[in-house]
Amino acid sequence: MSGFVFSEKPISIESGEGATLTAENGTEYLDFGASYACTPTGHCHPDVVDAIQEQAAELLYVQGSYPVQSRTDLHGKLGALAPGGIENVWLCNSGTEANEAALKFARSATDGTKIVAAKRAFHGRTAGTLSATWKPKYKKPFEPLLEDQVEFVTYGDTAELEDAVDDETAAVILEPIQGEGGIHPAPAGYLEAARECTEATDTALIFDEIQTGIGRTGDLWACEGYGVTPDILTTAKGIASGLPMGATLCRDWVAEAAGPHGSTFSGNPLVSAAANATLDVVVDEDLPGNADEIGGYLRDELTALDVPIRDVRGEGLMIGVEVKRGANRVLRDLALEHQVLALPAGRSVVRLLPPLVLEEEHADQVVTALADVLAPKAESQS
């Protein structure tokens, strides 16, 4: 039944440690994306494991109306770590739920109804977030959705964005770096322009940091690297080291008018404990700094390769390698020939999203693997 959502890979994973996954047959794989950016602290970081075990022995669940220390701590921690001016936190179970809440909050807090989103964007799979997602393959089986309330603009085109945002607009939702769409960082000045035109029209600016957040791009939040603070910021994936959690962070003016919203498992004690430990490790071990250093080294080494690569782009340890052959074929060869697991981002982009505990030797291993897989001799044999 798992194939209903995912195409099942021919590798059965049994355990993980740091940047390594181990299959049932004992083969070790370097994880450069198999975990969808959900393991910033690496697999089974001892501090995260200890926090989960301690909380599991005390309390697994109680509904969100009753204060629980791990949840209370997490609210405070996220509020303190959020970009300045964003102190309100709503917890949920996934990135799509975080974005769904963001869109609802924006609609409640403004007089607008229109949502402006970007081409190539991916924001989730619920009816609302799917409506703001660009790629037809995700949307077509479920149409009609809410397309008549969403206007898509070309990512990076400031003039087109400014023309689209008007007094009828409730929200502009953007990824600071587009992930699923091919690892496209926002061009210089683009997010600043988004901030200016949303402020001028009393529109909520939403930054989807589901994939870019929790240190991945070299800053705790990618928007900090651009010097732009949104009204609403969403995060998930790495926030609890792989356990299911998302969060919607927002400014006071949004929170005060957000309207009723809830979730049965919002901030459950176990996952909150994992998230607290994850954030502590990310900050205490300066994983954003490591992502910046090792990510810069990795991009430089990949750019220097004398093999058919069209482009290397990204920030920190969120890297896209645009290749001249199909990305899926490259990924197959990386896994089978070099025990490196990665992801596609479209037909021609190999997406690298390793744990932020990555070391230089791991980066070297991937550079060597890609050099071999992409070498002309390999192309002539395929």
DSSP letters along 205-224, please?
EEEE-TTTTTTTTSSSSHHH
Task: Tell me the average pLDDT across 253-267.
Answer: 89
246 strand-pairing partners: 92
Q: Provide the pLDDT for residue 64.
A: 87
Which range (24-33, 140-149, 180-189, 204-213) has the least confidence? 140-149
Task: Tell me the average pLDDT across 151-163.
Answer: 98
DSSP class of residue 263?
-
What is the identity of the amino acid at 98?
A
Whether 362 has a pLDDT exceeding 90, the answer reads yes
Token pair for 83: 């970009």
Query: How confident is residue 376, by pLDDT bands cut at 50, 70 and 90?
Result: confident
Nearest to 40 by CA among 358, 269, 363: 358
Q: What is the mean pLDDT of the chain?
A: 93
- CA 53 – CA 217 distance, rounded (Å): 30
Whether 34 has a pLDDT exceeding 60, the answer reads yes
Task: Tell me the average pLDDT across 5-34.
Answer: 89
DSSP class of residue 33?
S
Whether 17 has a pLDDT exceeding 90, the answer reads yes
Whether 333 has a pLDDT exceeding 60, the answer reads yes
20: enclosing H helix or E strand: strand 20-23
Nearest to 161 by CA among 135, 122, 187: 187
- CA 327 – CA 373 distance, rounded (Å): 11
Contact 120, 273 (CB under 8 A): no
Contact 233, 78 (CB under 8 A): no
Contact 370, 304 (CB under 8 A): no
Q: Provide the pLDDT for residue 6.
A: 56
125 is in an annotated binding site: yes
Q: Provide the pLDDT for residue 7.
A: 63
Task: Tell me the average pLDDT across 205-211.
Answer: 98
Q: Provide the pLDDT for residue 145.
A: 76
Helices (H), the chain: 46-56, 69-81, 95-109, 127-131, 136-139, 158-164, 190-200, 222-226, 252-255, 269-284, 287-303, 327-338, 360-374, 376-381
Whether 378 has a pLDDT exceeding 50, the answer reads no
Q: Let me know the angle formed at the C-alpha of 188 by 186 and 190, rounded to the nearest 5 degrees.
A: 60
Stronger pLDDT, 34 or 95, i.e. the higher one? 95
Query: How confident is residue 377, by pLDDT bands cut at 50, 70 and 90?
Result: low
Query: How confident is residue 3, by pLDDT bands cut at 50, 70 and 90?
Result: very low
Task: Enumerate domains of the chain plus CATH numbers.
Answer: 46-285 (3.40.640.10), 301-375 (3.90.1150.10)
Query: How confident is residue 315, by pLDDT bands cut at 50, 70 and 90?
Result: very high
End-to-end CA distance of the chain: 32
209 is in an annotated binding site: yes
Q: Provide the pLDDT for residue 85.
A: 87
58 is in an annotated binding site: no
Q: Provide the pLDDT for residue 1.
A: 39
Q: Provide the pLDDT for residue 379.
A: 43
Task: Tell me the average pLDDT across 349-373.
Answer: 98
- CA 317 – CA 211 distance, rounded (Å): 11
pTM of the shown model: 0.94
Stronger pLDDT, 259 or 299, i.e. the higher one? 299
Residues above pLDDT 70, as percent of the chain: 96
28: enclosing H helix or E strand: strand 28-31
Q: Provide the pLDDT for residue 8.
A: 64
365 is in an annotated binding site: no
Task: Tell me the average pLDDT across 69-81.
Answer: 96
Q: Provide the pLDDT for residue 5.
A: 52
263 is in an annotated binding site: yes
211 is in an annotated binding site: yes
Q: Provide the pLDDT for residue 381.
A: 46
